[in-house]
Structure 1
Amino acid sequence: MSEIETRLENGVLTVTLNRPDKKNAITQAMYAALAEAAERARTDDAVRVLLFRAEGDSFSAGNDIGDFIALGSQGQGPTDMPVFRFLKALADLDRPVVAAVKGRAVGIGLTLLLHCDLVVVAEDALLSVPFVNLALAPEAASSLLLPLTLGHQRAFELFALGQPLDGRTAHAWGLANRCVPADQVEAAAADLAAQVAARAPNSIRKTKALMRDAEALWAIMQREGEAFGGQMKSPEAMEAFMAFTQKRAPDFSKAG
């Protein structure tokens, strides 16, 4: 069974993260499949809406840390990884995107939502961006989009402290369109996707394109990639990754 599954039905391309045993932590192979799906959504006229959902009890635990560390040790920078192909596809995407979020949404699990036009979140979902906890930097244009969505202070708190935001608060702060009980998330997201798919497709695409600056998003993604890549090679990140694998708190007391 594939870890990324796609299904096109009635104009809705549903993309499912299907690695529930690992809380849908995303590997570079999964990013390549996600990029293919996003590129298909932009180029296939049969696709009117892209819907992201996940199997299991978590939307996504973020990057697969083991996979990430292995690639970093090979000297591969973030911009050389399949994740950047996916991010470019998100920046360029002119089809509306819907997300159904249950359980944990960590790192890219949250920043992906900033590129979605309609988000349904479970009341008890927990969303976080613990980049600083791993001594890294923001990605997916989140350094631009999260402050635009939440305001500087709330966005900085999420980045700097890495503490999770529950679904009700995410909805109240503007990260989600709907906040419902977990057992209603899938149906609510599917309903929104169907409603949008029934609208005039070219009008929808032009509306979305006017609301986003794809070139600016890609430019900030590349700047973030440089910062992220620099941090990946830093002593801070090595300590954070080691602490993660050893299941202890990192010690940044000697960092400077």
Structure 2
Amino acid sequence: MTSEPVILVGTHAGVRTLTLNRPDKLNAANDALLLTLTDELRAAEGEPGVRVVVITGAGRGFCAGQDLADVSGRDMTFTEHLNHTYNPLIRTLRGLGKPVITAVNGVAAGAGASLALAGDIRLWTQSARLIEVFSNIALVPDSGSTWFLPRLVGYHRAFELMALAERVDAEQGRALGLCEHVYPDETFREDVQAYAERLAARPAHALKLTKQALNAALTGTLGEALDREAELQQLAGDHWEHEEGVTAFKVKRVPQFMREPSASGDQPSARER
């Protein structure tokens, strides 16, 4: 018998959905899940038919953080473990030249909270909960949480959420800016797909450059941001998407940024079969 894959892969209308698939453990992460998710993100980067990536969870949880049983007794330091699994995943996600939506369908705790916050767009279901749970076991938030959270809520609120391991529900998350939209549990999958398809119809090359500009601006000066914008604007202006956008504006029609899909555009890859 073959075991269930730890990441389910599906593609429809330019949207690649990667589903964490350990529902019996609320998708708590083991090495196989983390390394496979990283590999799948890299694979999506190289597929022209994939314009948007969605990361979500199977069952009633998004990701409950690290599966402690998976690392118990292992001859590996905390630093080695992070550098082998979580850190390459977060770097790959943030550096991906395509928008990544984290669709939080339930609890996102510990490193699962870090993954939830790392998306370019964060969509939550009404039953979603985010918990920076590290202090409950006397550890430091990792996998990017100390970088993402204070930029979203400020230093003091971030410290409080981390120090007290406070649970943030969906409405609080939206108010704090931890997610862009909250959808009903009953229609969450459909709402996420519809949102992702809207994003997929936008100019892919321009969004890739926009993501590069924003990532650079988060750690740079205003002068550096202005220089980077000028450089990237030239790349955007030289691309066919710009000509299409201007032409559509002039004749008052909706621009068509999605070229004709290849024969394999909506077909399952070898991983999906």
TM-score (norm 2): 0.73
Match of 1:86 among 86, 89, 100: 89
Quote the residue 2:163 is aligned against: 160
Question: Is 1:176–2:179 an aligned residue pair?
Answer: yes
Mapped contact 1:51–1:99 kept (Cα < 8 A): yes
Match of 2:72 among 66, 69, 72: 69
The letter of the residue matching 2:176 is: W
Quote the residue 1:7 is aligned against: 10
The letter of the residue matching 1:16 is: T
Structure 2 CA distance for partners of 1:151 and 1:20, relative to 1, 3 Å: same
CA distance in 2, matches of 1:15, 1:214: 28
For 1:177-192, what aligned pairs fall within 5 Å after superposition? 177-192=180-195
Mapped contact 1:92–1:214 kept (Cα < 8 A): no
Question: Is 1:99–2:126 an aligned residue pair?
Answer: no
Match of 1:147 among 133, 139, 150: 150
The letter of the residue matching 1:86 is: L
Question: Is 1:27–2:30 an aligned residue pair?
Answer: yes
Structure 2 CA distance for partners of 1:215 and 1:124, relative to 1, 3 Å: closer
Match of 1:122 among 120, 125, 142: 125
Question: Is 1:136–2:139 an aligned residue pair?
Answer: yes
Deviation at 1:65, TM superposition (A): 0.8
Identity of aligned residues (%): 31
Where does the alignment leave 5 or more consecutive residues of structure 1 unmatched? 217-256
CA distance in 1, matches of 2:130, 2:36: 23
Q: Which moved more, 1:143-152 or 1:40-49?
A: 40-49
Deviation at 1:45, TM superposition (A): 2.1
Structure 2 CA distance for partners of 1:72 and 1:194, relative to 1, 3 Å: farther
Deviation at 1:51, TM superposition (A): 0.3
Quote the residue 2:262 is aligned against: none
Where does the alignment leave 5 or more consecutive residues of structure 2 unmatched? 220-273
Structure 2 CA distance for partners of 1:74 and 1:180, relative to 1, 3 Å: closer
Quote the residue 2:42 is aligned against: 39
* Secondary structure of residue in 2 paired with 1:131: helix
Q: Which moved more, 1:192-201 or 1:129-138?
A: 129-138
Structure 2 CA distance for partners of 1:57 and 1:8, relative to 1, 3 Å: same
Mapped contact 1:29–1:82 kept (Cα < 8 A): no
CA distance in 1, matches of 2:67, 2:83: 17
What RMSD, in angstroms, separates the aligned Cα atoms of the two structures?
2.2
CA distance in 1, matches of 2:157, 2:194: 30
Quote the residue 2:208 is aligned against: 205
Mapped contact 2:124–2:183 kept (Cα < 8 A): yes
The letter of the residue matching 1:139 is: D
* Secondary structure of residue in 2 paired with 1:46: coil
The letter of the residue matching 1:208 is: K
The letter of the residue matching 2:108 is: A
CA distance in 2, matches of 1:90, 1:214: 17
* Secondary structure of residue in 1 paired with 2:63: coil
Residues 112-168 of structure 1, C-alpha deviation per residue, up to 9 Å, x if partnerless?
122212222122321101112222222222212110111112111111111210011
Q: How many residues align?
A: 217
